[in-house]
Amino acid sequence: MRPWGTRGKAAPPARSNLTKYRGNINSYRIELQDRLGIGRLNLDRVERADLYTSGYYGHEYLRRGVAQVTDEARQNDAEIRVLELARSNSVLKKRLSEQGKWDVFGRLTGEYDSHANQENKGARGYFGGAGVDVRLIDPAYLSVSMKRAEAEISKYEAKIDYRDRELTNGVDRKVAKAGNLRRQADELVVSATSRREVFRQKLKAYLDGRETMDNLVSARRSLLESELNLSDVLGDLFEIITELDQETGVYFTELGLSVENPAR
């Protein structure tokens, strides 16, 4: 007895989904083409990569643990480096004031513009300066110069502490999220493997005339859902990995730069 349904004719929802996914693939192809800066990119030039592997990119963050990753991020954080420079400059101001005859003005400085609304005209980033502007002053004003330097030291220490907590909490949160996403991927791989076997069995049964088209399409849809969910989870995982790369200074190393001398 032949299974009911028309062989080779997909149900309307399946055909609609197929059209949607083909459109998504073409959209991603064009986006990749734009990011690579090339005129045309054919799909046959795009090699498939197994994103679910034991040695996947970024697995070292989970192996090393939060404490070590946080230390790396702290050592390579440009904002902390600039703030530490500014604090050192303020300490120098205080030391010169303590000598009892110099007043120090604001040539020694370092700042971080996190909201792009200050001196660097809309470009988020860092700016700093070096050099000392000093002058002989009346001893009556030495205490004022001293207090100003102490206030600057306290201000930069508070900013450093805040950034340190922000960095620590951010790394902790991202490493934990990366671990959860990887565990989700493990579960989805098991699910996809099971559903792939179910689909294989139903396909064989359908070809032997022992299964309906509807059940075959349903099994294939379940398999597709598992694979799509796995793809989404892996995409989220590698997005977190790139954020950890940025915070731990991987890009500085890859580009041959350093936090101390970005233009080197």
- Verdict on whether the full-model pTM lies above 0.75: no
**Whole-angstrom Cα distance, residue 127 to residue 83?**
10
pLDDT at residue 257, as a whole number: 61
Residue 107's identity, in one-letter code, is R
pLDDT of 108 over the 50 cut: no
pLDDT at residue 198, as a whole number: 96
pLDDT at residue 183, as a whole number: 95
C-alpha distances (whole Å) from 19 to each of 8, 146, 215, 223 are 16, 72, 21, 18
Q: Which of 76-80, 127-131, 181-185, 211-215 has the lowest mean pLDDT?
A: 127-131
Question: Mean per-residue pLDDT for 243-260?
Answer: 74
**Whole-angstrom Cα distance, residue 73 to residue 76?**
5
Provide the CB-side half-sphere exposure for 52 (13 A, CA): 19
* Confidence label for 75 from pLDDT (cuts 50, 70 and 90): confident
- Spell out the alpha helix ranges (H) of 208-259: 213-247, 250-254
Domain ranges of the chain: 13-48, 82-155
Q: Between residues 7 and 61, which one has the greater pLDDT? A: 61
Specify whether the CB–CB gap between 112 and 82 falls below 8 A: yes
pLDDT of 226 over the 80 cut: yes
pLDDT at residue 138, as a whole number: 56
Question: Mean per-residue pLDDT for 31-56?
Answer: 85
pLDDT of 254 over the 70 cut: no
Burial 42-78 (b: 16+ CB within 10 A, else e): eeeeeeeeeebeeebebeebbeeebeebbebbbebbe
Question: Mean per-residue pLDDT for 94-121?
Answer: 53
Question: Mean per-residue pLDDT for 106-129?
Answer: 46
> Which pair of tokens denotes residue 170?
């951010």
